[in-house]
Amino acid sequence: MTASGNLWIVSAPSGGGKTSLSRALLPRLATLSVQAQISVSHTTRAPRAGEVDGTHYHFIDEARFVERIAAGAYLEHAEVFGRRYGTARTETEALLAQGRDVILDIDWQGARQVRAAMPAAKSVFILPPSRLELERRLKQRGTDADSVIAQRMALARDEMSHYAEYESLVVNEDFETALQQLIALFLAPRLALARQKPRYSALIAELLEN
């Protein structure tokens, strides 16, 4: 019987590095025989250049999104910058049942909804090393006007104020160090006695045999 995967909530302010870290995490976990997947959210915003429906997001219209909310199809959903985002409940549950770890790249509001629905969900908040560095990273993207960056910085402060609601905290000053810390966090639950004992029951019996 395949053990259920772990549901991971990963949050950070815009520019904190959660998306880059999560993407880099997947192949590193795979080398350690841990299958993980980033949840593909539904959104009402228009696709950006190079984005593929079903790979980066599931792009749907406002009316369909509202219908899905009413049907209880989302594990969590939120509105950000006038656009809606949501995590599909059945898709997430199916991946977990396959033994895969599922990463939810969501904000603190979504995290609260997920915890209420699935209390066993694990969570980690990623902080930047400083406000100055966070602003530099946002400007380095080259995709937003100064007014938008100023708005993102204001929202970042509010997002970061909720760090204490999470189980774990990682400061993304050095990317590789932060990545190693995330790997350690993802491995730890899989090494817990409750999970390892049934997996190695035959070995344990042999080792303890009189």
Asked if 193 contacts 40 with a C-beta cutoff of 8 angstroms, the reply is no
User: Integer distance in angstroms from the first to the last C-alpha of the chain?
Assistant: 29
| pLDDT at 140 (0 to 100) | 87
Spatial separation of the C-alpha atoms in residues 135 and 138, rounded to whole Å: 5
Please determine, for residue 8, whether its predicted confidence score (pLDDT) is greater than 70. yes
Asked if 117 contacts 178 with a C-beta cutoff of 8 angstroms, the reply is no
Confidence band for 1, pLDDT divided at 50, 70 and 90? low
Condensed to tens digits (0 to 9), the pLDDT of residues 47-74 reads 989 999 999 999 999 999 999 999 999 9
Condensed to tens digits (0 to 9), the pLDDT of residues 128-171 reads 999 999 999 998 877 778 888 998 899 999 999 999 999 999 99
Which domains does the chain possess? 7-39+102-207 (3.40.50.300)
Condensed to tens digits (0 to 9), the pLDDT of residues 88-133 reads 999 999 999 999 999 999 999 999 999 999 999 999 999 999 999 9
Asked if 163 contacts 169 with a C-beta cutoff of 8 angstroms, the reply is yes
Asked if 106 contacts 79 with a C-beta cutoff of 8 angstroms, the reply is no
pTM of this prediction?
Answer: 0.90
Alpha-carbon distances of 146 from 69, 171, 203, rounded to whole Å: 34, 25, 61
Asked if 68 contacts 74 with a C-beta cutoff of 8 angstroms, the reply is yes
Condensed to tens digits (0 to 9), the pLDDT of residues 163-210 reads 999 999 999 999 999 999 999 999 999 999 999 999 999 999 999 998
Confidence band for 4, pLDDT divided at 50, 70 and 90? very high
